[in-house]
A and B are shown apart, each in its own frame.
Chain A
Amino acid sequence: MEAPQEKKPVFFPDEGYWTMEADGLHLIGSRCIQCRRDYFPPREVCPKCFPEGLEHKMEKSKLSSRGKLYTYSIVQVAPKRFLPPYALGYVDFPEGVRVLGQLTTTDPSQIKIGMTVQAELGRIAVDEQGNEVMSYKFRPM
């Protein structure tokens, strides 16, 4: 008889997209060697330099662990795998990058546009096998 499948967390997109340091979670993106712009998620081509026919090599870059909340919404209706309700927000990082992520709370009294949020790891969904999907989330500070 087969042993029941053990449920273990899966990481999304994968653990190469962040690094855990003393001051918290930092998302890992790319910076263009030519124009010095930062991007997240990481990539191999600079969308600004490539169409202009310029050198567009990318190097790894690290975002700050905290950003500012640009806007948000508490989602009630969504695919089941995201376990609604959940809160989504766009976070602006000092490196000039905006990232969409789930927040760590759905309590509207704790969420305000312009507030500082801290990146951390948390559950964002469950997959078809019932495993928890772990990814970057943002905690209101």
Chain B
Amino acid sequence: MRDVAIIGVGMTKIGKFPDRMLSGMGREAVIAALKDAGVPPKEIQAAYSGTSLGGALLGQRIFKDLGMSGMPINNMENACSSGSSAMREAWLSIASGLYDMVIAVGSEKLSALGGGTLPLEREDLEVSGGMVMPALYAMRARRYMHEFGATPEHLAKVVVKSRQCATKNPQAQFRKETTVEEVLNSRMVADPLTLFQCCPMGDGSAAAVICSADKARQYTRQPILIKGSILVSGRFDNSFRDMTTPEITVRASKLAYEMAGIGPKEVSLAEVHDAFSIAELLYYEALGFCGRGEAPKLLDEGATEIGGRIPVNPSGGLISKGHPTGATGLAQTTEIVWQLRGQAGARQVKNAKVGLTHCTGGGIYGLDHGACSIHIFAK
């Protein structure tokens, strides 16, 4: 497998844009990424398009009106991991030598679905019995609080940090600061998770131009290398699984660190899948940034703020930047690339050398999550 680099990234703003077409947002991200890469569009040999609910042939709907047609277009779905799965397949196609230059784009338009919770697969037994994503995470939070004595205030602090980062991110959906009190007083969704602790429904798209490390040098003096690219599916377990240890993330991160030849201590910053407040705490532990039950302490110490020793979600994460599901994996990638290049403006992490993106997808009975994709990037 040869070395692979990202030479261009781009994303739309994230928010509610009911008057925009999904494929139009995809085109905006693609055009931005191509411009950032300085690559003539005809050099792109294949495309990988991720969306969870965007419908059939979204890749073709995005690219045909750019005249980028005829090439292999792969449409991928892995629920909220669709974008990072597209990223992973793009990486694989270059690493294996099949192509030299490809593009990955993730897009979603959740405003088209009306309000409420994300529609889940009704064939799933638990979904048909009343399971919704906020409830799944709420039950994790309840168990975590029971085992480790974490409080609702700890959950709320995740959101306060998130909003604070997002005030520095022009692409973010929610850019207003908040307080622990305001978070806890917002509407209860699934106890103990209140509205502010849940990522919003939103729309957006992000894209990345990926090529061999050799070819990258023709286009940029700042190629960002992909040192780790992992995709796993959840392990089926009908028995007494520990819901406070996200097994899919533990497993995927071990593989990613091994592939990149690093450990959690070498990570300069991470964009993790904080779909709900409790998620970020669980992932501090699952990704090895602290020990079991120590996440609230890590947060309290300020270690995961932009100025801390392991900044997590400097973009504002899913909670404040937003979570147009299929776009998220690539939106996280875009943030990491900007950070490693020193282009993150007011939210720049100092001395950013190694970045990690972590994206999970879907809730179905018997699995921790359906999918998890982790990428590690380095200058």
Q: Which A residues fall within an 8 A CB radius of B?
A: 12-13, 37-41, 47, 70-79, 82, 86, 88-90, 92, 96-98, 100-102, 108, 113, 124-125, 135
| Bound form: Cα–Cα A5–B238 in Å | 39
Beta-carbon contact of A77 and B117 below 8 Å: yes
Given contacts A77-B189, A92-B240, A100 and B365 within 8 Å (CB-CB)? yes
Q: Which of A13, A71, A86, A135 is the one whose CB lies under 8 Å from B243? A: A71
Q: Which residues, 316 to 355 on B, are CB-close (under 8 Å) to A?
A: none
Given contact pairs A12-B129, A77-B116, A96-B240, enumerate 17 new A-B contacts (beta carbons under 8 Å).
A47-B236, A47-B238, A70-B143, A71-B139, A72-B142, A73-B135, A73-B193, A75-B189, A75-B191, A76-B188, A86-B130, A88-B130, A88-B131, A90-B243, A96-B239, A113-B146, A135-B129
* A73 x B190 contact (CB < 8 A): yes
Interface residues on B, range: 20 to 34
Contact (A75, B134) CB under 8 Å given A113-B142, A113-B146:
yes
Whether A77 contacts B143 by the Cβ 8 Å rule is no
CB distance from A25 to the nearest CB of B (A): 15
Interface, chain B (partner A; CB < 8 A): 116-117, 125-126, 128-132, 134-135, 138-140, 142-143, 146, 187-193, 236, 238-241, 243, 365
- Chain A residues with CB below 8 A from B132, complex form: 75, 77-79
Contact B240 A113 (CB under 8 A): no
State the Cβ distance, B366 to closest chain A Cβ, in Å.
Answer: 8
Cα–Cα distance between A78 and B190 once the two chains are bound (Å): 9
Closest 4 CB pairs of A and B: A73-B138, A71-B143, A71-B139, A74-B191
Secondary structure class of chain A's binding surface, majority of residues: strand
Known: A90-B139, A100-B126. A73 touches B191 (CB 8 A): yes
Q: How far is the CA of A48 from the CA of B332 in the complex (A)?
A: 35
Is B190 touching A40 in the complex (CB atoms < 8 A)?
Answer: no
Contact B139–A13 (Cβ < 8 Å): no
Return the chain B residue nearest A74 by Cβ: B191
28 contacts between A and B (CB under 8 A): A40-B238, A47-B238, A70-B240, A70-B243, A71-B142, A73-B139, A73-B191, A73-B192, A74-B190, A74-B191, A75-B132, A75-B135, A75-B189, A75-B191, A76-B188, A76-B191, A77-B189, A78-B116, A78-B135, A79-B116, A88-B129, A88-B131, A88-B135, A96-B240, A97-B239, A100-B129, A102-B129, A113-B146
Closest to B140 in A: A71
Q: In the docked arrangement, what's the CA distance between A73 and B190, Å? A: 6
Q: Could you say which of B130, B143, B192 contacts A102, with CB atoms under 8 Å apart? A: B130
A37: which B residues are within 8 A, CB to CB? Answer: 239
List of B residues within 8 angstroms of A124 by Cβ:
129-130
Tell me the complex Cα distance, A88–B188, Å.
15
User: A75–B239 contact, CB under 8 A?
Assistant: no
Q: Which residues of the partner chain B approach A78 to less than 8 Å between Cβ atoms?
A: 116-117, 130, 132, 135
Q: Which residue of B has the minimal Cβ distance to A29?
A: B238
A40 to B128, CA, bound (A): 15
**Cβ B125 vs Cβ A41 within 8 A:** yes
Known: A71-B139, A73-B191, A77-B117. A98 touches B130 (CB 8 A): no
B131 CB contacts on chain A under 8 angstroms: 88, 100
Interface centre among A72, A76, A79, A98 (most CB of B within 10 A): A76
Q: How far is the CB of B59 from chain A (nearest CB, A)?
A: 30
Contacts A79-B117, A88-B131, A90-B139 hold; do A98 and B189 have CB atoms under 8 A apart? no
Cβ–Cβ < 8 Å partners of A12 in chain B: 128-129
Which residues in B have their C-beta under 8 angstroms from that of A47? Answer: 236, 238
For B238, list chain A residues within 8 Å (CB).
38-40, 47, 97-98
- A41: chain B residues at CB < 8 Å are 125
Known pairs A79-B116, A100-B131, A102-B130; A88 contacts B191 (CB<8 A): no
B117 pairs with A98, CB closer than 8 A: no
- A92 and B240 CA atoms in complex are apart in Å by 7
The smallest C-beta distance from B142 to any residue of chain A, in angstroms, reads 5
B131 to chain A, nearest CB (A): 6
CB distance from A33 to the nearest CB of B (A): 17
